[in-house]
Structure 1
Amino acid sequence: MKNSSFSLVALICLVVLPINAFAYLDPGTGSAVLQGILGALAAIAVVLKLYWYRFLKMLGFRKNTVKKDTPASKTTEK
């Protein structure tokens, strides 16, 4: 109880008290943010590609398919 009330007071102080940050954002910062966003989108695309069929099975759009093994050549005994 004591810890949660301290967290609440700290959160209220951070929101209410204005803090000026005199920061400089150079053009490289924008490209780094864009690179991070594109990297995250690429990672999401790879994960979707890897788990696409499992995702469709989970939603019920695909049925379980079992591959049957067929031997390449059958041996006959004489």
Structure 2
Amino acid sequence: MKVSNFSKFSLLCLALLPINAFAYLDPGTGSAMLQGILGALAAMAMVLKLYWHRLLRMFGLRKSAIKKEPDTEKK
């Protein structure tokens, strides 16, 4: 997808020009935002915990566990 110069310029103007919002955030909104952030952190921690061994194998820090079968033959 080709991005035109006009779209780049308009995105730059939106990012750099100050815009007053005249908004009010009450304590309930702040606590809801905090709860969302903490919930996202807890979800990331659970995903990391569930896939910890896969991540270690992916980065090459741990070898995959290979079960050895017992030798049933006697010499």
**TM tier, shorter chain?**
0.7 to 0.9
**Identical counterparts, % of pairs:** 70
Q: How far does residue 68 in structure 1 lie from its aligned partner after superposition? A: 5.8
Equivalent residues in 2 for 1:1-78, closer than 5 Å: 3-67=3-67
Query: What TM-score, normalized by structure 2, do the two folds share?
Result: 0.73
Structure 1 position 43, deviation (Å):
0.7
CA deviation map 1:6-53 (0-9, x unaligned): 211211321343321111110011101110111111111111111111
Q: Give me the whole-angstrom Cα distance separating, in 1, the residues matched to 2:3 and 2:49.
A: 44
Q: Distance in 2 between matches of 1:4 and 1:30?
A: 38
Larger radius of gyration: 1
**TM-score after normalising by structure 1:** 0.71
User: Could you list the runs of 5+ residues in structure 1 that have no partner in the other structure?
Assistant: 71-78
Deviation at 1:5, TM superposition (A): 1.0
Q: CA RMSD in A?
A: 2.2
Find the aligned partners of 1:16 and 1:7 in 2 and give their Cα distance: 14
